[in-house]
Amino acid sequence: MKKVICLMASARKKGTHYAASRFMEKLEAYGNVKTEMIQLDDYRIETCRGCQVCFAKGETYCPLKDDRDVLIQKMMAADGVIFATPNYAFQVAGFLKIFIERLGYALHRPQFFGKIFTSIVVQGIYGGNEIKKYLDFIGSGLGFNTVKGSVITALQPITESEKRKIDKILSKQSAIYYKKLFKFAYPKPSLFRLMAFRMGRTSIRLELTERDRDFNYYREKGWFKADYYYPVRLGIFQKLAGTLFDETARLTSKSRHT
């Protein structure tokens, strides 16, 4: 049985709730999936003050004491995560943005490998595509195996014809999501992801020290010596590209100090 949770960023049970619920119903109907809807407005998540203590010392040193870790534990315990949000002023809703900022340290130290992620953006008129791309990027940055998100356009009350369109979009997205949920979830990285890892790890190795949490985390994980975050078989082209990315980061670091 796989567990899928949805972090719901709309406080009202209208369009976003409808779309996310349909998505979850579809997953459950395929079989062997248990879902949980988590209303972000039920949790107390303080706004990041930018002290950067989580980057430097570790997330446990965050001075804000709230429900952040409850949500993170739920994400850690799940096999799949969905972020569902309305489009508010061409961005994710504040409930979600505030939470994502509190996950900033996990963008430095990704940790959701082997879990499947997707997003559902619900809007009145326009702007959702950029939000979807943003959430895809965040999902992958956190370490998730990301299924492209969807954008749903629907005004209230949702008409029958809109419901049919929504269903079509969500059927396609949920089928891909479900397949990945039951498949080996550690895919080969894209060239961009490989570059992000190799340049990131080399600059962390050269620019930081044992006093920094990022440095220790990467060392503990064996990432200074690894091909990628997790074991993968890179092809010859990817191997060469990886070496080139490491070298580029090394030269950039060197030029900073000369």
Task: Provide the pairing of β-strand 2-8 with 80-86.
Answer: parallel
Tell me how far, at minimum, the Cβ of 86 lies from ligand FMN, in Å: 3
Is residue 118 involved in binding ligand FMN (CB under 6 A)?
A: no
Tell me how far, at minimum, the Cβ of 73 lies from ligand FMN, in Å: 26
Distance (Å, whole) CA 170 – CA 164: 10
Q: Which of 61, 113, 126, 224 binds ligand FMN (CB under 6 A)?
A: 126
Q: What is the DSSP string of 58-82?
A: -GGG-S--SSHHHHHHHHHH-SEEE
Q: Which of 10, 118, 173, 202 binds ligand FMN (CB under 6 A)?
A: 10
Q: Which of 58, 104, 127, 200 binds ligand FMN (CB under 6 A)?
A: 127
Q: How many residues bind ligand FMN (CB under 6 A)?
A: 17
Give the residue with the Cβ less far from ligand FMN, 89 or 236: 89
Is residue 125 involved in binding ligand FMN (CB under 6 A)?
A: yes
Give the residue with the Cβ less far from ligand FMN, 156 or 243: 156
Give the residue with the Cβ less far from ligand FMN, 14 or 108: 14
Mask 62-91, x = binds ligand FMN (CB under 6 A)?
A: ------------------------xxxxx-
Is residue 119 involved in binding ligand FMN (CB under 6 A)?
A: no
Give the residue with the Cβ less far from ligand FMN, 127 or 200: 127
Give the residue with the Cβ less far from ligand FMN, 152 or 199: 152
Q: Which of 4, 5, 7, 15 binds ligand FMN (CB under 6 A)?
A: 15
Give the residue with the Cβ less far from ligand FMN, 48 or 166: 166
Is residue 16 involved in binding ligand FMN (CB under 6 A)?
A: yes
- Residue 53 neighbours by CB under 8 Å, 6+ apart: 61, 62, 63
Q: Which of 119, 123, 140, 174 binds ligand FMN (CB under 6 A)?
A: 123
Residues in contact with ligand FMN by the rule CB under 6 A: 10, 12, 14-17, 86-90, 122-127
